[in-house]
Amino acid sequence: MLKSLTPLLWFLFSAGGTVAALLFPIHFLVTGIAVPLGWLEAPSYQSVLDLAGHPLTRLYLFVLICLPLFHAAHRFRYTLYDGLKIKHLTLLIVTVCYGTALVGTMAAAYFLLSLL
């Protein structure tokens, strides 16, 4: 079954890698560094809620969360193979990596839908 999923997993890897490369640096800089250090003022809760209320924003956030999750899961799987030489644990590694990405995706869908 893993074999037949391989093209899909590689597609998610490259799509997620592109999303993470183009969009993560600025989001991380703003949310993770600039706002906590006080370089930028965080917008009010209400204005963030209004922004997230728009369906396009929610679609954007869904893509922003789930594609990079699958990218990271796929890449981390092969890092474990090459780096730690534990290819014989394939089933466990695959379950943990893609399982995390899948649970994260479902959680993102759930929270974004409950923003309605």
Partner 1 sequence: MSSQPHYTAYHPKWYRRPVSVWWWLERWPYTKFVLRELTSLPVGYFALLTLWQVRALVEGEAAYQRFLARLESPAFLMLNIICFGGIMFHALTWFHLTPKAMVVRISGKRLPDAFIIFLNYVGWIGLSAGIVLIWMRG
Contact residues for 86 (Cβ-Cβ < 8 A; gap 6+): 80, 93
Residue 9 CB, nearest approach to partner 1 (Å): 13
Q: Which of 33/92 has CB closer to partner 1? A: 33
Four-residue CA torsion sign, 89, 90, 93, 99: negative
With CA atoms as reference, report the closest residue to 113 among 58, 51, 50.
Answer: 58
Residue 17 CB, nearest approach to partner 1 (Å): 6
Size, binding site for partner 1 by CB under 8 A: 58
Q: For the window 42-71, what string marks contact with partner 1 as x by the rule CB under 8 A? A: xxxx-xxxxxx--------x--xxx-xx-x
With CA atoms as reference, report the closest residue to 31 among 40, 22, 23.
Answer: 40
Chain-centroid distance of CA 17 in Å reads 10
15 binds partner 1 (CB under 8 A): no
Helix (H) or strand (E) holding 69: helix 55-84
Q: What is the contact surface with partner 1 in residues (CB under 8 A)?
A: 14, 16-18, 20-33, 35-37, 40, 42-45, 47-52, 61, 64-66, 68-69, 71-76, 78-79, 82-85, 100, 104, 107-108, 111-112, 114-115
